Amino acid sequence: MASKRSNNRSTGNPNQKLPMNKTIPLGIQHVLAMFAGNITVPIIVAGVFGQTPEQKIFLIQMALFVAGVATIIQTIGYKDIGSRLPIIQGTSFAFIPIMLPFKAAGLGAVFTAAFIGGIFQFFIGKVLKPIRHLFPPLVTGIVVLMIGFSLLKVGFMYAGGGGWLMNNKPELFANANHLTIAFTVLIVSLFFNMKGKGMMSSASILIGIIAGYIVAMALGMVNYGKISSAAWFAFPTPLQYGIDFVPGAIILMLFMSIVTTIETIGDISATTMGGAKREATDKELSGGIMADGVGTAFGALFNAMPNTSYSQNAGLVAFTGVVSRHVGTVAGVILILMGLFPKLGGIIAAMPESVIGGAAIIMFGMIASAGIKLVSKSEMSQRNMLILGLSLSFGIGMSLLPDFVKNIPDFGISLKLLLTTGLIPAGLLAFVLNAVMAKK
């Protein structure tokens, strides 16, 4: 099995160029993996901020367009900016808790704060090298592991039909149709990954999703209205909501810039470990974080929610073994086209979320396993075991029992919500304990 994959898959070199008849399907596979998450954030925010249906469509369009541009900044890069890895960017769920409290201030305040937060993250990336030693495999491994753990619930939620269905029509959530679709995707993807050769193995997730889409069509669960209602062409419009400086929003965005930097370090580490079987270099981490910040700042100008690297795509790299950055560039181009030609996005938006769910269960599990692999590169001394144990204890424990923090003040930053994400307490605790506990 190992020899077959080394001959037919990736060389582990991010600069490897595959034929376009392989690169394009692999790029589409990356887009399918992140599409649902990328459009869900603007949908949620638009609903809370009282946007009209037309404004909601506009925000979705901008999210796709900006995700494509931000991804290309990562994969192609400019000077020191960009990881030059297949890091796929998109709107981040992590920022939702800090955006929603500013409903009264409006989206102008959110986008202005996001622009400043993006610039701040760019400078974090620029000065990363002197503090790189603070993020050894133990710390980044714990972050990657918790990214996987925290996403597993999302993966199964998608497989059951999505969050809206779970909250609004629980009787239809995880019914026979949705489970049939999800497990069709999962089983077909696993079959082609294990038995397929060359491209059939690398594109196994895409093949599984196509199979799931066909089953969804047969079950009458494809919403063709989303295709017919989507416009043929729409041009991006910058600063649609104006500029509004709200100190509280800016402070929260600065805080989240630090949090998302830790997550980006984890995603880049998961990508190199899963696809190239090595740790990320200082240049890849620094460039990736700077690109993350530039993408968020650019997105804020074009009315898109804060961007970050997408963990499910790191899982996809680990699952397929294809680490070519040119595949990521193709994904970026496809996302830009979807932003400019909403009809293309409508085809994906038309399928039930359970199609993505079947693939998500695999990919999110692969992220967790990449985290375990990173952690295993550290010596399992008493000190490191204690850091690992305490970090996972707080991260997993508080996410499983949110009531544990119900009496903690929010301090205006949705602290209770942040503490129950799993990723943030585990990542920050691993970082602090590694910095303060002496090595024996």
Q: What is the pLDDT of residues 44-54, one digit of tens each?
A: 687 678 777 67
Q: Which of 152-156, 296-300, 348-352 has the highest mean pLDDT?
A: 296-300
Full-model pTM:
0.72
Q: How far is CA 411 from CA 57, 110, 416, in A?
A: 34, 19, 9
Name the percent of the chain lying above pLDDT 70. 93
Which pLDDT band, with edges at 50, 70 and 90, does 1 fall under? very low
* pLDDT of amino acid 4: 39
Q: State how far the Cα of 437 lies from the Cα of 386, in Å rounded to an integer.
A: 10
pLDDT in tens, 154-178: 789 889 988 788 888 999 999 999 9
Q: Is 266 exposed, middle or buried (0-12, 13-18, 19+ CB in 10 A)?
A: buried
Can you say how many angstroms the Cα of residue 264 is from the centroid of all Cα atoms in its chain?
Answer: 9
Contacts of 235 (CB under 8 A, 6+ apart): 340
Contacts of 273 (CB under 8 A, 6+ apart): 144, 279, 280, 318, 370, 373, 374
* pLDDT of amino acid 440: 67
* pLDDT of amino acid 56: 77
**Could you give the 3-state DSSP secondary structure of residue 78?**
strand
Which pLDDT band, with edges at 50, 70 and 90, does 8 fall under? very low
Rounded mean pLDDT, 418-437: 85
Helices (H) and strands (E) in the chain, counts: 20, 2
Q: State how far the Cα of 267 lies from the Cα of 272, in Å rounded to an integer.
A: 9
